[in-house]
Structure 1
Amino acid sequence: MGVSYQESPSLLLQDLKVTIKESTLIFPSEETITNKRKSMFLSNVDQVLNFDVQTVHFFRSNKDFPPEIVLEKLRKALVKAMVVYEFLAGRLRLNPSSGRLDVDCNGAGAGFVTAASEYTLEELGDLVYPNPAFAQLVTSQLESLPKDDQPLFAFQMTSFKCGGFAMGLSTNHTTFDGLSFKIFLENLASLLSEKPLSTPPCNDRTLLKARTPPRVTFPHHELVQLQDSKTSTVFEATSEHLDFNIFKISSQQIQSLKEKAVRSSSSCSVRVTGFNVVTALVWRCKALSFTKVEEEDLEKESTILYAVDIRGRLNPQLPSEYTGNAVLTAYAKAKRKALLEETFGRIVEMVGEGSKRITDEYARSVIDWGEIYKGFPHGEVLVSSWWKLGFPEVEYPWGKPKYCCPIVYHRKDIVLLFPDIDGDSKGVNVLAALPSKEMTKFQDWLEDTLS
């Protein structure tokens, strides 16, 4: 297999020595067209994603764009961006008449934070490794504001001693999915270059409104009903000690997995893609990483989840520039025994069938299920892919990012896929967080499947 490594936390910078210089609010540069306060409807897909997503975008120094110039350009561009992305200056609220969350587009502002680190960008070390200290590069809560008046969007620029800097963005997940966030970044880059928006956004979330009356026409094994008001998500952070490990899967190994899948596949009904083979690899390794290989354990069912973009699957199709969450959770399930004994090609087929299942009617059924039952995705493991979202490809006036990554927290039931940095553009980094004994098993099965 390719190089796998786990960097000891003792070798990582525990404190990036970040000093906050300014923490304030910024506001849209002009009044909205209607000049009236309004609410933005949130779909049932948006409703269950009320949590912050934090990403960091690292940039090398550029003599033509010192941090102080970059800062002012970013401030002006974000102010302009909030005219068309007006919900970013709003606040999430519970609508008393409907009992649903919506966005009060009240122009209350977005967070804007200026900071500096005492380190150079190179001194941060390996940017791919999920250093918990990277959380210092992002602001999600403004101390000057009460808890019920926190912005949906907060931006932090942290400059390094070398002239490089990091853009830290915190967005409530109700605002964007990965694809629409990429479009937001591209639009921001256009505004920074004093150009028109590259892709004007579509903010109409009613395009994913439930049918009247709602009709659930499929069984939805990937969803679980909300049991009580205190439960927010199945995938909670754990206090259990977990080892982090990053497995680098090269483009050559991905090609070998594809060939292995084709050789051992029983049908041609599913595309053998890089994502499908890597996800099948993760599913097998995660399901078999339990410490005891007993018949009772092998009879237990394993369910893997992953996101599928539905913009092009609906009839009529959603606009590609739709800003909301237009992703649903695909699933595959099987007994662990099957994941041990079936051919790799069959496991890839099961993964691919999960995506193929999501048609227009299936997607509408999921949305209607949410209208009736109130719940969220549930499974043994979720594959969260940042592999091909394309954040590092966005061209800013000062160049493309050196690396982009989310802030990663301890979650043993989430496996993340990241692109490589300055290397194999078609390879992938697989980040797993597991208890030590399970991590050893995970790596053993990884090597077994890749052999």
Structure 2
Amino acid sequence: MKANTVTSSDPSVRLLQRQTLRCADPNVCSSLPETTTKYGPFDQLVAPFIPVAVVFVYDQPNSSEPIIPVQRLQHALELLLNHYPQLTGRLNILPDGSYEMTRIGTGAELVIAECIEHLDSFADDEGRISLMDLPGASNALFGPYDASSDGICRDPLFTIQHTRFACGSVALGIRVRHNNCDGNGFFQLVRDLAELYRGLKGNSIPTLARPPHFQSYMSDLVMTQEERQEALAFKPSLLVVDPLPEAVAIPTKPPPVVGRILRFSGTALEELKVQATEPDSSNSWVSIFEAIAALLYQSVFRARLHYFANDPSSMSPPDYLSPIDFRGKRFPELPTAYFPNALLCVYTSLSHDMLSNAPLWQIAKHLHDLMRNEVPDADHVKNTLRWVVAQPDKTRIRSGFRPGNGSIMVSQWAKFDMYTGTEFDGEKPRLVSTPFTPISLADGLAYTLPTEMQGKMGGDEQAIDVNVALSEPIWEILEHDEQLRHFSSSWSNIGVRSG
């Protein structure tokens, strides 16, 4: 284990060591048919500098035995890499813009750190811990990350930081490059790690009850010239090739972006769902996610319209985007326990008049139909992916969504059971959340997340947190939005600010 002095983003956290992680069985990597593995077309649609990063915080129980000792965690991680050996590799970007994993066996990374404070010193008067209150708004609980073009090809695909607080409690900051997996695959990875860790308490070497499927769909597809031309003739509904449909003006010096957390109680969500459902229609329904997304879409648009009232042309089109997971019945060709990405992003753009004046249920109904009907069937998905594989220059592939200071992107993480299966030493995490980082502080980006009350007796298990990043002056206008304030029971008092 090598010592490596690294500066933390918070003075209360000290990084002690950085340890290279390799497969517990050294024959695993050497037995792979190739030391280079191609990414599939789902993965190709994700920018390589974007990570999936989540912090898991665990209380030290009333026991003399420390929770999640580093040595046992390291052993579990090495066993995990027997099942995920490609995560020991490095990213390589080919001249046509396609990605591959190379140098498999180079290693993942475990960072060992300590915090000089007790975990409860970051809690509020009710004992609740928010990621906003943790060191560096929880960013100090993750290993160093370099999103530059050099860093994304040089550094590990998978890192985990083990931070022990002065009271013995532990935070695990886990990060995987997004072009390796989506949120579903990420939490599968963490549950697999926890399962192997728990198995180490026995006398035998543990194995996974349900090993992951690691190979990306269509990553091994080889086309003839005729097949390639046929694939390129397909017109996907969600993707385009440069140039974008409409140029988006970007301010030369935009205001800073602030990340805040909105909490919606279970009761408020039921009321919101009623308001977002078409009245007097027995066949109409919307999900909680669609109701929240519609509320954010309308409220944020109205605030932006007010802010840009003197210069409406400075606001980009009010586009909306959401990713859809195609595991399961929507695309049955994906195998069970599929780890890589399985997402396509649907998008739409409603008129200024509708977003300004329509009742909430009309916007929610539009989003409901978008989520279910924009991709016609499994054949359309398959042909879209073949179209991606066939592209001669994959750097030119774009979503038809137009990002900018008028758009909004809402991702559904509340569906993930983050607090179940991620127990290491018997106790559920006290908090699971994704931080605001320099990358995720994108104006108009929002995530729905389960709260720390998920699975707790007597708690509001149906409550949802929404992490939202918006331009600072838009937040100032939303402070007076009666509709948004009515449904969200609390707003974080501290915001994470870019710049």
Q: TM-score, normalised by structure 2?
A: 0.76
Secondary structure at the aligned position of 2:461 is classed as coil
Out of 15, 20, 26, the position equivalent to 1:25 is 20
Distance across 2 between alignment mates of 1:351 and 1:36: 44
Q: Which amino acid aligns with 1:387?
A: A
Aligned residue number for residue 370 of structure 1 = 388
Question: How much has 1:158 moved relative to structure 2?
Answer: 0.5
Aligned residue number for residue 130 of structure 1 = 132
Distance across 2 between alignment mates of 1:241 and 1:61: 37
- Counterpart contact for 2:87–2:158, Cα < 8 Å: yes
Aligned residue number for residue 10 of structure 1 = none
Map 1:273-422 to 2 at 5 A: 273-290=287-304, 291-292=306-307, 297=312, 301-356=317-372, 357-358=374-375, 359-371=377-389, 372=391, 374-377=396-399, 378-379=401-402, 380-393=407-420, 394-409=422-437, 410-422=441-453
Q: CA, structure 1 residues 81+397, in 2 after alignment: closer, same or farther (shift >3 Å)?
A: same
Per-residue displacement from partner, 1:25-45 (whole Å, max 9, x unpaired)?
Answer: 011011127255422221222
Question: How much has 1:117 moved relative to structure 2?
Answer: 0.6
Per-residue displacement from partner, 1:363-395 (whole Å, max 9, x unpaired)?
Answer: 234424534363244341111232221222222
Secondary structure at the aligned position of 1:123 is classed as helix
- Counterpart contact for 2:216–2:340, Cα < 8 Å: yes
- Counterpart contact for 2:137–2:435, Cα < 8 Å: no
Alignment length, in residue pairs?
426
Distance across 2 between alignment mates of 1:280 and 1:412: 17
Distance across 2 between alignment mates of 1:72 and 1:334: 54
Secondary structure at the aligned position of 1:264 is classed as coil
Distance across 2 between alignment mates of 1:218 and 1:59: 48
Aligned residue number for residue 191 of structure 1 = 196
Distance across 1 between alignment mates of 2:196 and 2:416: 21
Aligned residue number for residue 3 of structure 2 = none
Aligned residue number for residue 81 of structure 1 = 80
- Counterpart contact for 2:275–2:361, Cα < 8 Å: yes
Q: Which amino acid aligns with 1:202?
A: H
Secondary structure at the aligned position of 2:339 is classed as coil
Greater shift after overlay, 28-37 or 396-405? 28-37
Q: CA, structure 1 residues 292+71, in 2 after alignment: closer, same or farther (shift >3 Å)?
A: closer
Question: How much has 1:198 moved relative to structure 2?
Answer: 3.5
Distance across 1 between alignment mates of 2:477 and 2:271: 22
Aligned residue number for residue 7 of structure 1 = none
Aligned residue number for residue 4 of structure 1 = none
Map 1:130-279 to 2 at 5 A: 130=132, 132-141=136-145, 147=151, 148-194=153-199, 195-207=206-218, 212-213=227-228, 214-215=231-232, 217-218=234-235, 220=237, 223=239, 225=241, 240-264=255-279, 268=283, 271-279=285-293
Distance across 2 between alignment mates of 1:187 and 1:429: 25
Q: CA, structure 1 residues 121+448, in 2 after alignment: closer, same or farther (shift >3 Å)?
A: closer
Out of 463, 467, 475, the position equivalent to 1:431 is 467
Q: Which amino acid aligns with 1:83?
A: N
Question: How much has 1:403 moved relative to structure 2?
Answer: 0.7
Per-residue displacement from partner, 1:296-326 (whole Å, max 9, x unpaired)?
Answer: 9599842211111101245543123111100
- Counterpart contact for 2:41–2:217, Cα < 8 Å: no
- Counterpart contact for 2:301–2:355, Cα < 8 Å: yes
Q: Which amino acid aligns with 1:103?
A: M
- Counterpart contact for 2:38–2:219, Cα < 8 Å: no
Per-residue displacement from partner, 1:227-283 (whole Å, max 9, x unpaired)?
Answer: 69xxxxx99xx97323443222111121112222334377846x4111111111111
Question: How much has 1:68 moved relative to structure 2?
Answer: 7.4
Question: How much has 1:199 moved relative to structure 2?
Answer: 2.3
Distance across 2 between alignment mates of 1:108 and 1:208: 21
Secondary structure at the aligned position of 1:115 is classed as strand
Q: CA, structure 1 residues 37+243, in 2 after alignment: closer, same or farther (shift >3 Å)?
A: closer
The unaligned stretches of length 5 or more in structure 1 are 1-12, 229-233
Q: TM-score, normalised by structure 1?
A: 0.84
